[in-house]
Structure 1
Amino acid sequence: MYKPKDSSKSPRFCGPRTFMRLEHLETVENIDFAVIGVPFDTAASNRTGQRNGPQHVRNFSVLLRPYNPDQNINIFDYCSGVDYGDVDIIPGNIHRTYEAIENQLTPILENDITPVLIGGDHSITLGHLRAFAKKYGPVALVHFDAHGDTWDNYFGEKYMHGTPFRRAVEEGLIDVEHSIQVGMRGPLYGPEDIEDARDLGFEVITMKEVRKIGYETVMNRIHDRVKDRQVFVSYDIDFLDPAYAPGTGTPEVGGPTSYEALEYVRGLDGLNLVGFDLVEVLPAYDNSGEITAVAASSIIFEMITLVALKKRRAEEESTEKSKSIAARE
């Protein structure tokens, strides 16, 4: 069982910076989840520096503790996990980086381990989805973002941080009939910037609609859309209002608070979750006490909590099944 160091016995400023002070191990033995950095940022269209995002998030995550009071669970009563380190990306070469991502994720997925990936710009998600599709076939996608990232190209380039989900649909990596995007907002080039995602098959809930229909309805629509399909969650930190997450490349005002950002992850409990990424943290713009790192590390903590809740549910169902069989005998 791999779990974080106890910070009441070992000071938080001691040792190498890993997520939540987990062991830094490249192993697929006896673990349920692996935190992995993907420090690639040369497909960003404006600000760069997301390559430093994984370590920035890790640096702040040392303050996290294993018990989640909002979900009433101690993660490591049910889960074993490690910080797997970073994918050896190739700066400036997105295609070789995609190959590196797939190669790194393949043994993890083959061993039914849940990856929790930290970016990096949003272009990396195409590499993640390629690896997941090899294991599961097309997966459902739950996508929290201020932008749909279904543009056809930037500057004539097909592989940028604004294009991954169009490419993923074209490659057959996503089960679009069971996929949904939430939070889109801000000035656009035209209505097609939203409608293109719908034309590709996604359900889209803009931020204006989120505010109109409310949290409970949004979560119900996510669950109704995904159903029992295996689902990958992609979370762009610019989903949050920049008042709560200024450290990102393309901030858009009018987004959720940090509390709401956590609630949207907690509300995914019960879905058939197989993997997560959180992208677009840009440390150079993370002023005011590193609040973007605070938010990002807490969101990832909630993602890992979902892995623990899924494991606990499976154990409880197994126990109930055993009792039922024993009663019949």
Structure 2
Amino acid sequence: MATHFLEGEIPNEHPEEASFHIIPVPLETSVSYGSGTAFGPEAIIEASTQLELWDGKSVPADDGIHTAEPIDCSKDISKTIDEIEDAVAYAVECEAVPFILGGEHTVTIGALRALKQKHGRFGVVQFDAHADLRDIYEGSLYSHACVMRRASEDLKLPIFQIGVRALCLEEVEYREKMEIPHLDARKLHLRGIPKILLPTDFPEKIYITFDVDGLDPSVIRATGTPVPGGISWHDALTLLERAVSNRKIIGADVVELAPSEGDHGSDFAAAQLVYQIMGLCPLED
């Protein structure tokens, strides 16, 4: 990786001294509409060089950020997921909060596996236009459209979905069967953001997975499957703040950016999103 996150503002901190590990995963194997997610991590890191260190409340970079080398995604998908798991496990070993940069949403599986080994039970807060609850899509259990099914069915992790507005009947039925709590985009539009967002019995430790198509295309258009009626920028920040209230982020990812030539705004918004989530991580002294 030629450039590290926030290069020009901070050094690429030694992994054992950093509170955050940026793990680029340029995975693109199962995109189902527009392509380009393989270039997402590089675009986010490049755009991060234009960020201000002050995020509006603090300077998350003061806690140290290490940008790892990109995961090799040329292998079989199961081996790529294993390598993601190893990279996240190393971040945990360094007592850092892992931040995965996708790449398609499948990258989340490796992160969740590693964190399950460390923390046992935790919750997954998913921002997304799609439910991603299909069991198999286009012949693969590891399609981007199946990632939350793997989290729920295989890893037995509780999920809370935010911003969904495109899902199939199989996903509707699975959500109902498993009683997966959600705040879909239409309900969010009609009723606004509740003061208490997550169920009271939702785990204290949470993982944030943020598919950028969860945002409205007016915020980020450069994604493979944009869907109208998404979350606005400031609503996204409020939702994040309320999701982490009285809870602890143990990891996060920002995925599905598909950079488009001339659309610097989408890349910058994705980089800003990563940094804003960092600012919500309570770190021990």
Name the TM-score, length of structure 2 as normaliser. 0.91
1:261 corresponds to 2:247: no
CA contact (8 A) 1:261 1:299 kept: no
CA contact (8 A) 1:24 1:85 kept: no
Amino acid paired to 1:296: A
Distance of 1:114 and 1:122 partners within structure 2: 19
1:20 corresponds to 2:3: no
CA RMSD of aligned residues (A): 2.1
User: In the TM superposition, what is the alpha-carbon distance from 1:212 to its structure 2 partner?
Assistant: 2.1
User: In the TM superposition, what is the alpha-carbon distance from 1:306 to its structure 2 partner?
Assistant: 1.4
* CA gap 1:106/1:45 in 2 versus in 1, 3 angstroms: same
* CA gap 1:238/1:76 in 2 versus in 1, 3 angstroms: closer
Amino acid paired to 1:199: K
CA contact (8 A) 2:129 2:164 kept: yes
* CA gap 1:236/1:100 in 2 versus in 1, 3 angstroms: same
User: In the TM superposition, what is the alpha-carbon distance from 1:209 to its structure 2 partner?
Assistant: 0.9
Amino acid paired to 1:297: A
Per chain length, whose mean CA-contact separation is higher, i.e. which structure has more relative contact order (CA < 8 Å, sep 6+)? 2
* Structure 2 counterpart of 1:73: 58
* Structure 1 counterpart of 2:267: 293
Structure 1: any 5+ residue segments left out of the alignment?
A: 1-14, 316-329
CA contact (8 A) 2:197 2:239 kept: no
CA contact (8 A) 1:266 1:302 kept: no
Q: Indicate the percent of aligned positions where both proteins have the same amino acid.
A: 26
- What secondary structure sits across from 2:162 in the alignment? strand
Distance of 2:231 and 2:88 partners within structure 1: 31
- What secondary structure sits across from 1:19 in the alignment? coil
CA contact (8 A) 2:12 2:65 kept: no
User: In the TM superposition, what is the alpha-carbon distance from 1:223 to its structure 2 partner?
Assistant: 6.1
After superposing on structure 2, the runs of 4+ consecutive aligned residues of structure 1 that deviate more than 3 Å are: 22-25
Output aligned runs, 1:94-113, within 5 Å: 94-113=77-96
How many residue pairs were aligned? 282
* Structure 2 counterpart of 1:89: 73
* Structure 1 counterpart of 2:226: 251
CA contact (8 A) 2:122 2:203 kept: no
Distance of 2:72 and 2:23 partners within structure 1: 11
User: In the TM superposition, what is the alpha-carbon distance from 1:170 to its structure 2 partner?
Assistant: 2.3
User: In the TM superposition, what is the alpha-carbon distance from 1:158 to its structure 2 partner?
Assistant: 1.6
* Structure 2 counterpart of 1:164: 147
Q: Can you list the C-alpha shifts for 1:172-197, whole angstroms capped at 9, x where unaligned?
A: 251x2xx31011103x443x433422
- Of residues 182, 186, 193, the one that matches 2:171 is 193
Identify the range of structure 1 (289-298 vs 244-253) with the bigger mean alpha-carbon deviation: 289-298
- What secondary structure sits across from 1:231 in the alignment? strand
Distance of 1:76 and 1:118 partners within structure 2: 17
Larger helix fraction of residues: 1
Name the TM-score, length of structure 1 as normaliser. 0.79
User: In the TM superposition, what is the alpha-carbon distance from 1:260 to its structure 2 partner?
Assistant: 2.3
- Of residues 29, 32, 37, the one that matches 1:42 is 29
Amino acid paired to 1:278: V
* Structure 1 counterpart of 2:279: 305
User: In the TM superposition, what is the alpha-carbon distance from 1:270 to its structure 2 partner?
Assistant: 3.5
- What secondary structure sits across from 1:68 in the alignment? coil
Q: Can you list the C-alpha shifts for 1:24-83, whole angstroms capped at 9, x where unaligned?
A: 46x4322211111111011222222201000111111111122122xx222244x12221
* Structure 2 counterpart of 1:281: 257
* CA gap 1:299/1:41 in 2 versus in 1, 3 angstroms: same
- Of residues 27, 30, 54, the one that matches 2:17 is 30
Structure possessing the higher radius of gyration over alpha carbons = 1
Q: Can you list the C-alpha shifts for 1:264-291, whole angstroms capped at 9, x where unaligned?
A: 233335421100000000013x65x422
* CA gap 1:99/1:76 in 2 versus in 1, 3 angstroms: closer
Structure 2: any 5+ residue segments left out of the alignment?
A: none
Distance of 1:257 and 1:167 partners within structure 2: 28
Amino acid paired to 2:33: N
User: In the TM superposition, what is the alpha-carbon distance from 1:225 to its structure 2 partner?
Assistant: 5.0
* Structure 2 counterpart of 1:116: 99
1:207 corresponds to 2:185: yes
